[in-house]
Structure 1
Amino acid sequence: MSNDASFKRPDYIEALDRWATVRDVCAGQHRVVDRLPYINAHDKSPENQDRNKAYRERAVFKNATGHTRNGLLGLAFHKDPTLTVPKKLEYLQDNANGSGVSIYQHSQGTLEKVLEAGRHGLYVDFHQDAGAGGHAVILTYCAEDIINWRTGMVDGHSVLTMVMLRETLEVEDGFGFKLVEQFRELALEADGFVCRVWRRTGPKGGGPLEVFETFKPDGVTGRLKEIPFTFVGAQNNDPTIDESPLYDIAMINLGHYRNSADYEDSVFWCGQAQPWISGLDEQWRDWMEKNGVYVGSRAPMMLPVGGAFGYAQPLPNTLVKEAMADKNQMMIELGARMVVASLATKTATESRGDQSASTSVLAGCVANVSEAYTRAIMWCGQYMGVTDKVAYQVNQEFVELTADPQMVTALVGLWQNGGFAKADLRAYLRKLGLIAPERTDQQIDGELHEQGDGLGLDDEVTPNGGKPSNP
């Protein structure tokens, strides 16, 4: 039996190295340079150390993994997410975490971490405000900070009964600061949700972990009967650890980097032409060493009978170059299509097909992020006594829809002739970007009533007996 609050699950420990690999590769060359092999590791001489330093400095890192991640984020957020909440929760749109980060930026960071590690966490915390009733905020935790968890059966359902989160605080130390590690326990007990903060005791924080603070947050409707924490995964939002969507690309990216280091090293050592002279006796050799030799078209070189001069030019190192090209192609096939521009002209249908295939993993991640934030906002509402329906939806239309005048005319004509409802027409116009996604049908109808011209209202009739043409 372990009473250590810092206990880490075995499957968590096993995944740490994979998470670190993907995050380092996405961060760039400065984080992966130490992953290059050390040449002649048994040689500790200053000369070999200098050679390895130069070997690393010459290597060129092409961050296909990071570009792929950024490209997928761009596809998901090229349209603003839609937030559906009552007025009491509208503050989340501009300040979701209590530190001024909008829910748009908040969810963008979450999707970024899910693409990297395949795992993230959202925790809803409640702050009791003096005289204002309190407000809820959404906090995020990286996969590395979710060290332990447990599930159990409650009323026939499998639910989280404990989650342990690792946190690092900055504590003032004069003009500087020192880092203090603590652990936040989220537990489900018989009377509801409870939060405990564990810190190490002792003058230098080297003692055993003990409970430092205990919170039993009471919202407007009382204590929650579940832990307000949700995992966000690449496959689903259950507690099991999902594989990183970018791990395979990251591993190939590292192999490409190692090949680049070998190639640049060979270019440095063998890339320049080496002049050579033959047919010299010792007297000629000593004279040339004493007086020096100029090489060039304007410096004729006098040689003895039978002497010869030439250049030794190495053959191209095609083996390493081919290995780099193969890995480059692998990264493209795995989704890193931003590495190089396609030289082949594709039809619109082919381009959409390629894009759909490469964004199928993204679609799953985006759906999980949307579901997790909807659930988190629901907990915010429970704390603050809001029972209205809430929703948060990140864009899943990765292929850009375009509308020409003929299409819009045909859609409006189909609506006028009773082909489909006005709500369906407006929903499609939102996809086309002709109506802002956050504008509801009720807002549009209200503005049309205020216009006073009767356009676009179902109870109005045009002079020819049909419905009006303004949706």
Structure 2
Amino acid sequence: MAVTDQHPQYIAAKPRWQIMQDAVAGEEEIKQATTKYLPKTAGMIEAEKQGDSTGQIYKGYITRAQYPLWVQDALRTMIGLVSKLNPEIKIESNLMKCLLENATNDGFDLKQLFIRMVLELLTNGRCGLLVDVDGQGKPYLALYDALSIINWKETNVGGRKDLSLVVLEEQHDNSEDKFGHNTKTVQRVLSLDDGHLSVELYTGNSTEDKTPSLGGKHLEFTPFIFCGTIDNSPNVGTVPLLTMAKAALKYYQLSADYFQSLHHTAHPQPWISGLDDTTDISVTGVMAAWLLPRESQCGYLEIEGNGIEKTKLEMDAQKSSALEAGSKVIDNNAQESGEARRARQDDQHASLYSIVMCAAEAIEQAIKYAALWLKLNPDSYTFSVKPEFSSDSVDPTILKQLYDGAISGKNSTQTYWEYMATGKLPERTYEEEMELVESEQVNQPMPAYNMSGANNERNDTTGTV
């Protein structure tokens, strides 16, 4: 087996993580994926066989489609709530105080690390923390996203499961000049050999020993902590916003058909009958008047649009599904005790409450690992967060009105989520609220459809079409 081999759970979950990456990136990334998320219709495929070699029909189809930014809006609202939480940190030794201001390998403090972990958990449902030491012997924490943790194994030691292998993929600079941005993929392998930690860096066919040592002491455990949305086991869990992302993708596909149909109703196909090979058509005017033979006929072929309204109704249903998915993740119920809420949420779904708790517990475990490495008492080091998002009660009537307003486009979905999480209506002007609504969806009135088509018979020599 090769170092690039992937865990079966990783292989199964990777498509979900890639969907979430594209969903968070937004409309440009979704549309660049072309047929991955928006397949061509049978008519488009046939048209390209018949001469549409550049795929102009499909390009118009994908350009008119609208991808809603529900996932981005939900993430912004939830991270805004989490950023207001203040962690309680207990670090006694001066050897560990560096973590308060410079906790990560890129120079961020513990609160910033906490927020970044919550973002990773909301997006992918999984991340990991590696405890390491720098060249000066100071501990730091490195955050890895779900796609970077490609393989792992657990070994039964004394009746308990311990991590015996973790394979992490990293991107290292591979530019030939200082302005380049080329990277190469390397694998960092952490393994327990005869009860001692070893770290190796695999670059192609070469291997480099990177086993960390602090004061001549080598670790007897793997200093890597998995973090999930419900618990911190190595097993891959659920992705909290995946339902919302899938609803947004389905809305995107439906909107392509919807706006394509509207486009066709606005550009009906003209037709002429009663011409022979020798007949010339004279055209005058701008838009224009046709000069036709006396016995000819002309008109427009228009789609009746019977299915357009049903498509719009299904688009609204997908929006409703996305709102429901977002409300389950925020899940603000101030009437329950913390233990009761945690038990109910663990049984049903990942929530912002459980995500905050898991992220805080993972950071605390990482700090304790660093303390053990430095031969300090791990009980003297804690990191905890109280996930109290609101002390205000939510009025069910107002919440229902905001929900209906979000569906109908009278208020933004962000206002709905913010009120549900905080119990307060956001302080925005009417104009600011309408700008949010317009940024979330394109409100376009249904046109008046010609249900019977047009068939204009001509008995004179001149007519305007």
> Is TM-score (shorter-chain normalized) higher than 0.5?
yes
**Equivalent residue of 2:351, what SS?**
helix
- Output the amino acid matched with 1:254: L
Q: Displacement of 1:229 after TM fit?
A: 0.2
Q: Which residue of 2 aligns with 1:320?
A: 311
Percent identity reads: 25
Q: Which residue of 2 aligns with 1:217?
A: 213
Contact 2:20 2:245 in 1 (8 A): yes
Give the Cα–Cα distance (whole angstroms) in 2 for the partners of residues 231 and 294 of structure 1: 66
Q: Which residue of 2 aligns with 1:435?
A: none
Once the two structures are superposed, residues 85-111 of structure 1 have per-residue CA deviations (whole angstroms, 9 ceiling, x without a partner) of 125223222211132222222221111
Q: Which residue of 2 aligns with 1:419?
A: none
**Equivalent residue of 1:215, what SS?**
coil
In the TM superposition, 1:414-453 aligns within 5 A as none
Contact 1:118 1:244 in 2 (8 A): yes
Gaps of 5+ in 2: 336-343, 394-465
Q: Displacement of 1:197 after TM fit?
A: 1.4
Contact 2:101 2:110 in 1 (8 A): yes
Q: Displacement of 1:38 after TM fit?
A: 2.0
Give the Cα–Cα distance (whole angstroms) in 1 for the partners of residues 21 and 159 of structure 2: 39
Give the Cα–Cα distance (whole angstroms) in 2 for the partners of residues 114 and 312 of structure 1: 49
Q: Which residue of 2 aligns with 1:51?
A: 57
Q: Displacement of 1:123 after TM fit?
A: 0.3
Q: Displacement of 1:384 after TM fit?
A: 3.1
- Output the amino acid matched with 1:242: G
Contact 2:98 2:138 in 1 (8 A): no
Q: Which residue of 1 aligns with 2:145?
A: 142
Q: Which residue of 2 aligns with 1:110?
A: 117
**Equivalent residue of 1:41, what SS?**
helix
Contact 1:274 1:313 in 2 (8 A): no
Once the two structures are superposed, residues 54-75 of structure 1 have per-residue CA deviations (whole angstroms, 9 ceiling, x without a partner) of 1111111112122222322222
Give the Cα–Cα distance (whole angstroms) in 1 for the partners of residues 154 and 238 of structure 2: 21
Contact 1:160 1:227 in 2 (8 A): yes
Q: Displacement of 1:313 after TM fit?
A: 9.0
- Output the amino acid matched with 1:363: Y
Distance 1:196 1:87, change over 3 A: same
Contact 1:68 1:337 in 2 (8 A): no
Contact 2:261 2:305 in 1 (8 A): no
Q: Displacement of 1:228 after TM fit?
A: 0.6
Give the Cα–Cα distance (whole angstroms) in 2 for the partners of residues 382 and 401 of structure 1: 41
Give the Cα–Cα distance (whole angstroms) in 1 for the partners of residues 231 and 17 of structure 2: 18
**Further displaced range: 169-178 or 179-188:** 169-178
**What's the RMSD between the two structures over aligned residues?**
3.6
Q: Which residue of 2 aligns with 1:260?
A: 255
Give the Cα–Cα distance (whole angstroms) in 1 for the partners of residues 123 and 146 of structure 2: 10
Give the Cα–Cα distance (whole angstroms) in 2 for the partners of residues 155 and 93 of structure 1: 35
Gaps of 5+ in 1: 202-209, 339-347, 350-355, 403-471
Q: Which residue of 2 aligns with 1:164?
A: 167
Once the two structures are superposed, residues 314-366 of structure 1 have per-residue CA deviations (whole angstroms, 9 ceiling, x without a partner) of 5572021111011111111112699xxxxxxxxx99xxxxxx98996121111
* Selected match of 1:98 from 105, 113, 117: 105
Instruction: Find the structure with the greater CA-based Rg.
Output: 1
Could you tell me the TM-score, scaled by structure 2's length? 0.69
**Further displaced range: 370-379 or 42-51:** 42-51
Distance 1:128 1:310, change over 3 A: closer
Give the Cα–Cα distance (whole angstroms) in 2 for the partners of residues 262 and 361 of structure 1: 34
Once the two structures are superposed, residues 3-22 of structure 1 have per-residue CA deviations (whole angstroms, 9 ceiling, x without a partner) of x2222122211111111011
Q: Displacement of 1:273 after TM fit?
A: 7.3
Q: Displacement of 1:152 after TM fit?
A: 1.0
Q: Which residue of 1 aligns with 2:39?
A: 37
- Output the amino acid matched with 1:29: E
Give the Cα–Cα distance (whole angstroms) in 1 for the partners of residues 149 and 247 of structure 2: 28
Give the Cα–Cα distance (whole angstroms) in 2 for the partners of residues 177 and 373 of structure 1: 31
Runs of 4+ in 1 over 4 A off after TM superposition: 272-277, 307-316, 356-360
Contact 2:270 2:298 in 1 (8 A): no
Distance 1:232 1:219, change over 3 A: farther
Give the Cα–Cα distance (whole angstroms) in 2 for the partners of residues 60 and 321 of structure 1: 13
Q: Which residue of 2 aligns with 1:452?
A: none
Distance 1:193 1:289, change over 3 A: same
Q: Give the number of equivalent residue pairs.
A: 364
* Selected match of 1:382 from 364, 372, 377: 372
